[in-house]
């Protein structure tokens, strides 16, 4: 039973630990994607969408973007909500993404608590589908208030998981820079048109090469961009909370085990 007199930092660590422990490794990539699908609907110009937990609402969860894989994730998030009712859905979904990275041997990303829940679903058709060109991707991320560098760093999430039953990388359960090394070496399957778009774009390619060379830089940039992603639409709280990202070194870490 969780203690009630936590500091915000302790509470975040407790909830994250709860999620890491109960999350089946097989579901980790989907949790990371879910955090993106909750936050990535944000439109800075209108202040609509964003990380307000609305992906847990049935109408949004059943959209083509989320259908099939979102529901099993929500079962764990709902379990966490029952154990920690004082934590918002938005925080739990964002923490699910951070927990997924940790579960797969990646950095511990401190993202802070205090996101607000909304009761109306986010506007539809705002998430990328994998067929966009690089200009369109940059426009979509700019719409959220994220930079081209953020776009590349966050795309490193595709080191984990699958599309159409094919793994993006050789070890889809380990958070590493393999997505980038494969793109640079052209050894990866490049399953999405957007993979090719990122490596062929002259503005984006240098970041792909940087992260392929330097996994620590990838971890640092991913943690920073992911934290900001999970606060989209909640800027005021982010400014007040000033949460930081804590990184464990990628060198010499243990590989995540299945199960």
For position 32 contacting ligand HEM by CB under 6 A, the verdict is: yes
Q: Based on the residue annotation, tell me whether 27 is a catalytic residue of this protein.
A: no
Closest contact distance (angstroms) between CB of 5 and ligand HEM is: 33
Give the C-alpha separation, 190 to 202, whole Å.
Answer: 18
Please report, as residue ranges, which positions from 197 to 256 form the binding site for ligand HEM (by CB under 6 A): none
Residue 34 makes CB contacts below 8 A (sequence gap 6+) with 55, 66, 70, 73, 93, 96, 97
Contacts 24+ apart (CB under 8 A), 75-84: 76/19, 76/22, 76/23, 76/27, 76/31, 79/22, 80/15, 80/18, 80/19, 80/22, 83/1, 83/2, 83/18, 84/2, 84/11, 84/14, 84/15, 84/18
Return the structure tokens found at 5: 């007199």
**SS3 of residue 66 by DSSP:** coil
Single residue of 137, 183, 212, 238 touching ligand HEM by CB under 6 A: 137
Closest contact distance (angstroms) between CB of 195 and ligand HEM is: 9
Please report, as residue ranges, which positions from 57 to 76 form the binding site for ligand HEM (by CB under 6 A): 69
Closest contact distance (angstroms) between CB of 193 and ligand HEM is: 8
Single residue of 15, 18, 20, 33 touching ligand HEM by CB under 6 A: 33
Closest contact distance (angstroms) between CB of 94 and ligand HEM is: 11
Task: Say how many C-beta atoms besides its own lie within 10 A of residue 3's C-beta.
Answer: 8
Among the listed residues 214, 208, 210, the one whose alpha carbon sits nearest the alpha carbon of residue 249? 214
Return the structure tokens found at 235: 């800027």
Closest contact distance (angstroms) between CB of 50 and ligand HEM is: 14
Q: State the number of binding residues for ligand HEM (CB under 6 A).
A: 23
Please report, as residue ranges, which positions from 153 to 172 form the binding site for ligand HEM (by CB under 6 A): 154-155, 157-158, 160-164
| Catalytic one of 31, 37, 56, 158 | 37
- Stretch in the footprint of ligand HEM (CB under 6 A) among 49-57, 82-90, 124-132, 237-245: 124-132
Q: Are 134 and 201 in contact (CB under 8 A)?
A: yes
Residues at the interface with ligand HEM (CB under 6 A): 29-30, 32-33, 36, 69, 128-130, 132, 137, 151, 154-155, 157-158, 160-164, 192, 194
The residues annotated as belonging to the active site are 37
């Amino acid at each position: 039973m969780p203690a009630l007199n936590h500091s915000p930092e302790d509470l975040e660590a407790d909830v994250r630990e709860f999620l890491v422990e109960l999350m089946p490794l097989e579901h980790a990539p989907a949790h990371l994607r879910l955090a993106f699908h909750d936050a990535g609907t944000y439109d800075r110009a209108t202040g609509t969408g964003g990380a307000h937990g609305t992906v847990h609402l049935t109408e949004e969860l059943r959209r083509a973007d989320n259908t099939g894989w979102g529901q099993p994730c929500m079962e764990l998030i709902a379990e966490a909500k029952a154990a920690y009712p004082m934590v918002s859905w938005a925080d739990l979904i964002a923490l699910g993404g951070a927990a997924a990275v940790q579960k797969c041997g990646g950095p511990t990303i401190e993202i802070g608590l205090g996101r607000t829940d909304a009761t109306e679903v986010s506007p539809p058709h705002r998430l990328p589908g994998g067929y966009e060109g690089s200009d369109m991707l940059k426009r979509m991320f700019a719409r959220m208030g994220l930079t081209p560098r953020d776009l590349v760093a966050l795309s490193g999430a595709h080191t984990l998981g699958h599309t159409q039953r094919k793994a993006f990388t050789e070890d889809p359960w380990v958070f590493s820079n393999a997505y980038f090394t494969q793109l640079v070496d052209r050894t990866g399957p490049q399953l999405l048109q957007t993979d090719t778009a990122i490596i062929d774009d002259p503005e984006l390619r240098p970041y792909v090469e940087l992260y392929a060379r330097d996994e620590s830089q990838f971890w640092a940039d991913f943690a920073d961009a992911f934290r900001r992603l999970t606060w989209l639409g909640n800027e005021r709280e982010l400014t007040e909370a000033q949460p930081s990202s804590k990184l464990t070194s990628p060198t010499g870490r243990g590989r995540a085990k299945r199960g």
